């Protein structure tokens, strides 16, 4: 991690050192006083609660200093205090200046779905050539991205960063903190539609990453997605298109799913063709893989450079990971989040897997706006069309899935509905049969990881 003097931190943020040893070194930074560790520099950010009210809590937990935008009473003159006009802006300025001084190149990844998986794939593939910093977990907003950059070390020469948004101008602001050399747009889907008029506006917001890309940079775009293509029509820089369709520069041909063993296809890119096998169960993961390969090609790697790294790719926890349980039961844990496009991909992938019975455990899809009921009904109809043996819905919006499934012919006796994840976790395990394959997917706010934990505990993971 970077190691910065307190007075240097103040200069980089354009702040004033109020007290404390100017030479004190900081290498860890925090925003939450409850998670502050010894030696941290605490940023008093106003979020749900005002961080200024918790500066002393952070001090008592071992923080060595704080960045504030108003006066705070600290009964310890040795505790470092830096005052800035705005603590969020100060954090971002510190991160941006740290990135600039280290000369690290940036791969910025945005899109409605697949950002985290694409980031992890890209970091793994590029790790054979570069010393890679990747944004931790889903640290992808105006705070998380800046904190990720403060984990830079002297040896890093590449940062792979998620850039997320729930409104216009948010990605534009992120690119001011970390201007990408390589900009990736995974897709455009009805995610956060509650905050936009239509999908075209979402596409325009995603395309802000291209506006912030450095001169001479390269865009890696989903060539199968018409909204991505339209939003990027003004892009004049380097371009790599990925997808399944002809005309894509990085393409998967002959995609074939092989049950629980995963998927195989021919990777066609850079004048090369090679067979690839990956342990993933839905087409969305193939596209995430192609996007990561595109980013690597943009940085000068060849397909042959990448081939030894393909075997390192694995599903992420809560994002398509396979859990094997007692009695030949299996769970596809895709519980981290959900939206109509990602859910369709997951359902179609699960429908191809061998099982005595397929069970869909589906939670609410949030932030879909005025059409939310119809999006849920459509998902239920798809469950019926794909001949799932049992549909379990969780949450009030997911009741519309039950309606859609029954309307499409699924017998009412094969539909169960629970008000929340806790009830489902308690009641579902005894209802599963030997050989069942269970897909678990819902929005983050529904907390379907509780259901996965209940299945794991009730049926004993193998």
Enter the DSSP assignment of 428: S
Between CA 91 and CA 371 the distance in angstroms is: 38
CATH 1.25.40.80 for the 103-310 domain, yes or no: no
Calculate the CA dihedral of residues 194, 200, 206, 208 and round it to 10 degrees: -120
Between CA 418 and CA 198 the distance in angstroms is: 31
Answer yes or no: are the C-beta atoms of 339 and 191 closer than 8 Å. Answer: yes
Between CA 104 and CA 132 the distance in angstroms is: 9
Per-domain residue ranges for the chain? 4-84, 103-310, 321-459
**Topology alike, domains 4-84 and 321-459:** no
Answer yes or no: are the C-beta atoms of 278 and 262 closer than 8 Å. Answer: yes
- Return the bridge partners of 334, or none: 441
Architecture per CATH, domain 321-459, reads as Alpha-Beta Complex (3.90)
In CATH, the number for domain 4-84 is 3.40.1390.10
Q: What are phi and psi of 380, to 5 degrees?
A: -65, -40
pLDDT tens-digit profile, the chain (462 residues): 778 999 999 999 999 999 999 999 999 999 999 999 999 999 999 888 899 999 999 999 999 999 999 999 999 999 999 999 999 999 999 999 999 999 999 999 999 999 999 999 999 999 999 999 998 876 789 899 999 999 999 899 999 999 999 889 999 999 999 999 999 999 999 888 788 989 999 999 999 999 999 999 999 999 999 999 998 888 999 999 999 999 999 999 999 999 888 999 999 998 899 999 999 989 999 999 999 999 999 999 999 999 999 999 998 999 999 999 989 999 999 999 999 999 999 999 999 999 999 999 999 999 999 999 999 999 999 999 999 999 999 999 999 999 999 999 999 999 999 999 999 999 999 999 999 999 999 999 999 999 999 999 877 654
């Amino acid at each position: 991690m970077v190691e910065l003097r307190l007075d240097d931190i103040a200069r980089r943020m354009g702040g004033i050192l109020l007290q404390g040893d100017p030479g004190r070194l900081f290498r860890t930074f925090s925003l939450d006083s409850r998670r502050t560790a010894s030696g941290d520099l605490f940023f008093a950010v106003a979020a749900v609660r005002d961080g200024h009210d918790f500066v002393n809590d952070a001090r008592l937990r071992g923080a060595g200093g704080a960045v504030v935008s108003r006066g705070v009473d600290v009964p310890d003159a040795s505790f470092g205090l830096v005052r800035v006009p705005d603590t969020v802006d100060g954090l971002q300025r510190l991160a941006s200046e740290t990135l600039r001084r280290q000369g690290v190149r940036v791969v910025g990844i945005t899109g409605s779905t697949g950002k985290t998986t694409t980031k992890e794939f890209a970091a793994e593939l590029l790790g054979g050539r570069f010393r890679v910093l990747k944004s931790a977990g889903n640290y992808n907003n105006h705070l998380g991205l800046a904190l990720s950059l403060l984990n830079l070390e002297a040896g890093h020469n590449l940062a792979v960063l998620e850039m997320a948004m729930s409104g216009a101008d948010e990605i534009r602001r992120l690119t001011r903190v970390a201007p990408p050399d390589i900009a990736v747009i995974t897709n455009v889907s009805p995610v956060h539609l509650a905050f936009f008029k239509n999908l075209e506006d979402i596409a325009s917001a995603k395309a802000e990453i291209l506006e912030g890309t450095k001169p001479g940079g390269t865009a890696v775009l989903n060539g199968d997605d018409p909204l991505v293509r339209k939003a990027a029509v003004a892009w004049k820089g380097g371009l790599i298109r990925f997808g399944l369709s002809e005309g894509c520069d990085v393409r998967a041909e002959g995609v074939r799913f092989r049950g629980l063993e995963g998927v195989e296809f021919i990777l066609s890119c850079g004048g090369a063709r090679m067979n690839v096998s990956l342990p993933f169960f839905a087409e969305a993961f193939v596209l995430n893989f192609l996007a990561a390969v595109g980013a690597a090609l943009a940085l000068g790697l060849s397909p042959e450079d990448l081939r030894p790294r393909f075997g390192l790719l694995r599903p992420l926890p809560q994002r398509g990971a396979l859990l094997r349980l007692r009695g030949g039961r299996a769970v596809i844990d895709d519980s981290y989040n959900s939206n109509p496009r990602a859910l369709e991909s997951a359902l179609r992938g699960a429908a191809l897997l061998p099982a005595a019975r397929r069970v869909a455990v589906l939670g609410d899809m949030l932030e879909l706006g005025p059409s939310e009921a119809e999006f849920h009904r459509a998902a239920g109809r798809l469950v019926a069309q794909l001949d799932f043996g049992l549909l379990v819905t969780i949450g009030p919006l997911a009741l519309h899935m039950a309606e859609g499934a029954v309307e499409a012919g699924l017998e009412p006796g094969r539909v169960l509905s629970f008000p929340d994840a806790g009830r489902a976790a308690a009641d579902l395990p005894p209802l599963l049969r030997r050989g069942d394959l269970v897909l678990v997917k819902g929005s983050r706010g529904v907390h379907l990881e509780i259901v996965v934990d209940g299945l794991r505990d009730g049926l004993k993971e193998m």
